[in-house]
Each structure stands twice: as C-alpha cells, then as structure tokens.
Chains A and B, each alone.
Chain A
Amino acid sequence: MKILQRPALPHVDAEAALAEARRLIARKIEQPARRAFLTRSLTMGGLSLLTGCRISDNDSVEAALGAISRFNDKAQGLLFDPTRLAPTYPASMITRPFPFNAYYSEDEVRVVDEASYRLDVTGLVADRRRWTLAQLRAMAQHDQITRHICVEGWSAIGRWGGVRFADFLQRVGADISAKYVGFKCADDYHTSIDMPTALHPQTLLALTYDGQPLPPKYGFPMKLRMPTKLGYKNPKHIQAIYVTNVHPGGYWEDQGYNWFGGS
C-alpha cells in the first residue's frame, strides 16, 4: 500500500521550508491588535443587529423561538408537581392596594350584571347546564392568601376565596383525561390551561377577594385563581369554561407569551 503514502521530497531543504512556513504564519498573526480590533468590530456589528430588535421580526427566527417556547411548555409540564403547594402568607402580608392589571386600563373595566350572569360549561363534560352565581356560592368554599406573580416580574400577595376547580370539574363530570381547559371572559379575554394545573388543590374559581365579593376590577363575578401560574393565565370575568383536547391558545399566548406560564 505504498501508493497511499506521501512521496518523500528528497530535494527540499527541511530547514528552509520550516523558515518559509514560519514567515507565512507570522505575517498572518503579526498584527494581533489589528485582528483583535476587527474581531471586536464584528462583534459590535452583531450586537447592533441584535439590539435593533429587527432580528425578532425575521420569520424563521420567530418560528425557532416559538418552537422553543412549546418545548418549554413540555419542560414545565414535566417540572409541575401536582401535589406541591405554592407558599401561603399571613393576612398582614397582603399587598394593599392590590394592583389592577389587564390588557386595558382600569377605567375600561367591564361590569357584569349579577342577576343575568350564567356560566356556560361545555366540551368534554357530562353535565352541560349553565350555572348561576348562587349555585357556585353554594359549593364548598376555600380561602387562600398567595402570591400573584406577573409576567412583567412584579408580584403581590392577595386573598382569594371560592370553589376548588377540581371539585367543580368533578361536579360537572369533566373528562379529566382531556388535555386542556379553556376560558372565555366578559372582557373579551381568553386563555387556557393544562389539566394537571386545573386539578391542583390551590386552583380556585374565585368568587371573593379579601372576604368580599370580587370587585369588578378584580374580575367580578368570577376569576380563576392559580398561584402556580403567572397572572395572565388567571382570567377574570369568566363566562364560559370548556374542556377540550384541541389546544385553545389564549389572548397573550397567541401573541408570543409562553402558553404554560407556570411558576
């Protein structure tokens, strides 16, 4: 197999060849400062590309980030422990006043009429009747003082009371092997959650805030309260609840907020 071996170069002066190679290489790296400056300039160029935010507008970048966000939904589903409780706090730690937050300003808060209010329950449930507030208030009530964490980063401690969502789902004969529960609200908001979170013991159909019926700004007549999820996953003024296996998305989620939104 001599044929695969490099032929010897008997007439080449090894010392001279080495010297030549050194010279060639030295030329390439003789001005490290200049190279460093160029490299840094390239980095700064890359930085300015990133910071113009234009890179996020690129369709393929957006698709990649969306795919990672869905991967993060799965990762959070795996991390979610259905028996782990969010911390609770003494009444003295309640944030006063509790901040108002919505996709609209406080003077646009919807006022829902109590007498005509009905809660629609549809989808994969055995009992699709409509609920009145009185019927919801007649179920076992639970109270919690927990931390509400907003996707913006701030947090506030509040006190909510109402029906355990797991009790409610059981009462309406929901198919708890279904993947999602969706919510439609009187303020044109909509969102959806995973079934394990829906069944978490601290997930409440909240009817009261700090011992009083929910004021309109906190979501009268009823909001979903989950201390295991970020604020935008906690819909207010809920009018319809549906159990489904078709991913329902949500108001913010469809714009790019992470769907699982767990904490």
Chain B
Amino acid sequence: MEHPATPASRQPIHPRWVRLTHWINALAVLVLVTSGWRIYNASPFFPFQIPNGITLGGWLGGALQWHFAAMWLLAGNGLAYLVLNLLSGRLWRKFFPLSAAGVGRDVLAALRGRLSHADPRHYNSVQRLAYLFVMLDIVLLVLSGLVLWKSVQFPLLRELLGGYEFARRVHFVAMAALVAFVALHLVMVALVPRTLLTMLGGRSGNPS
C-alpha cells in the first residue's frame, strides 16, 4: 500500500479500505441501533422505552426487516475490516503497544487539554483503547445477535452468553456501550474536526 516515492504528506492518512469500511460501518450501526430500539420497545426488559420518534421501521415487523438486513452489512463489512486490519499489519502498527500507564497518562493529558493531535497518523493511547474496545464490542454485538436470531442453532454460543434471556441483556448493554462510544467519538470529531477530513480522504499536509 505504501509508495515510498510519493511524499508522505500527499498520501491519505487512512487507506481507502479503512475509510470505506468506516462509513459502511457507520451506516450499518445507525440502521441497526435505531431499528433495534424499536424491537426493544416491543418487549422492554428495563423500566423504560426508547421514544418511537427516533426509531426506525415504523412497527415491529418493519424494524425487524431493517435489522435483519443491516446485520449482513455490519457482519460482512466488519469481517472485511478485521481481516484487512490483520493481514496488512495495521492492527499491530496502529493500536499497539497499549499500556494502562499510557492510557492513564493520555486521559490526564486530555482532561487538561494538553493531548496532542498534531500527527493524525498516530493514535494516542486513549484512541487505541477506544477503537479496540469498539471493535470487540461490535464482535460481541454480532455474537449475542446470533444467539438471539438462532438460539437453537448455536448452542455453544448460547451457553457462553448465559442463555437466550441473558444474551438479550448482553446485546442491549453492548448496544448502549456502542452508542456511548459514538457519542464520545462525535464530540472528539467536533473538537478536532481535521479527523473528519482524514476519514473523508484528507491528506496529512498541514491544513491550518
């Protein structure tokens, strides 16, 4: 992927496949979360419902159709992302090493407003942790979703996730964690808008 002849400043920060899978994932997550809220409302297990106005599908049957369509997009796209990430070595290059001390240091620096975002090619420890977390969280969402969709056909997975009813809670909590990540992610993008450009194909030439 790297072309040494091209100056680094003229290359996109993120390879095309990262940008593509990022936006497909964003679309799939948007559809799955909003339709999932509608499905949850059909039989809530916490003492609250999601306002129907921010859900997708119009009714339970419609929400299920959206959910069971977008699940292929999330799973297929996620699998492609993970495979490319592993094969290209990007996973190790970008997200490791990761240490508790590093995360602690970067969290403190971030809270003091002193965390540097000067080099968008480099993820700080908090970013590494957050992105690795969301990868694992989506894997958990897919696995718990499989148990809800096909609890009889995946007995091992079902038992690992504590049975059908527990898997429903796991699926919900993993969704909530994903939504929390997205909220934080959007705040960070708003604070460092240049990162949005890099995900749209922006290059590392200093834009300011």
Nearest-neighbor residue (CB-CB) of B61 within chain A: A256
Interface contact A153-B42, CB-CB below 8 Å:
yes
CB–CB A257/B193 < 8 A: no
State the CA gap A55–B45 with chains docked (Å): 28
Chain A residues within 8 Å of B207, by CB:
26, 29-30, 32
Please tell me if the beta carbons of A76 and B150 are within 8 angstroms of each other in the complex: yes
Closest to B196 in A: A36
Whether B152 contacts A258 by the Cβ 8 Å rule is no
Can you offer 10 A-B residue contacts whose CB atoms are under 8 A?
A51-B34, A53-B56, A53-B57, A147-B164, A152-B60, A153-B39, A252-B61, A255-B61, A262-B152, A263-B153
Contact B61 A68 (CB under 8 A): no
CB-nearest residue of chain B to A226: B152
| CB–CB B62/A56 < 8 A | yes
Cα separation A257 to B42 with both chains bound (whole Å):
14
Using known A-B contacts A29-B202, A153-B39, determine if residue A72 contacts B60 with beta carbons closer than 8 Å.
no
Bin chain B's interface residue count: 35 or more
CA distance A72 to B150 in the complex (A): 12
Cβ of B151 under 8 Å from chain A: yes
The reply to whether A50 and B56 contact each other, CB–CB distance below 8 Å, is: yes
With A76-B150, A155-B164, A263-B151 in contact, is A56–B193 under 8 Å at CB?
no
B165 touches which of A47, A56, A155 (Cβ 8 Å): A155
Distance between Cα atoms of A143 and B72 in the complex (Å) = 37
Closest to B40 in A: A153
A50: which of B30, B149, B202 is its contact (CB, 8 Å)? B30
- The residue in chain B whose Cβ has the minimal distance to the Cβ of A36 is B193
How many residues on the A side are at the interface (Cβ–Cβ under 8 A)?
Answer: 47
Query: Is residue B31 within 8 Å, beta carbon to beta carbon, of the partner chain?
Result: yes
A6 within 8 A of B: no
A87 contacts B by Cβ under 8 Å: yes
In the assembled complex, the CB of B81 is this many whole angstroms from the nearest CB of chain A, namely 20
Partner of B69, one of A50, A68, A256, A263: A68
Per the bound structure, the CA–CA distance linking A176 and B197 in Å amounts to 59
B64 contacts A258, C-beta separation under 8 Å: yes
The reply on A103 being an interface residue by CB < 8 A is no
Interface centre among B58, B62, B152, B164 (most CB of A within 10 A): B152
Q: Are the C-beta atoms of A51 and B65 separated by less than 8 Å?
A: no
Q: Which residue on chain B has the smallest CB distance to residue A51?
A: B54
With the chains together, A149 CA to B165 CA distance in Å? 10
Residues in A with CB closer than 8 Å to B151 are 147, 149, 263
Partner of A152 from B42, B72, B190 at Cβ < 8 Å: B42
Please tell me if the beta carbons of B196 and A39 are within 8 angstroms of each other in the complex: yes
Q: Is A98 an interface residue (CB 8 A)?
A: no
Asked whether A57 is an interface residue with its Cβ less than 8 Å from the other chain, the reply is yes
User: How many angstroms from the CA of A69 to the CA of B66 in the assembled complex?
Assistant: 9
Interface membership of A161, Cβ < 8 A: no
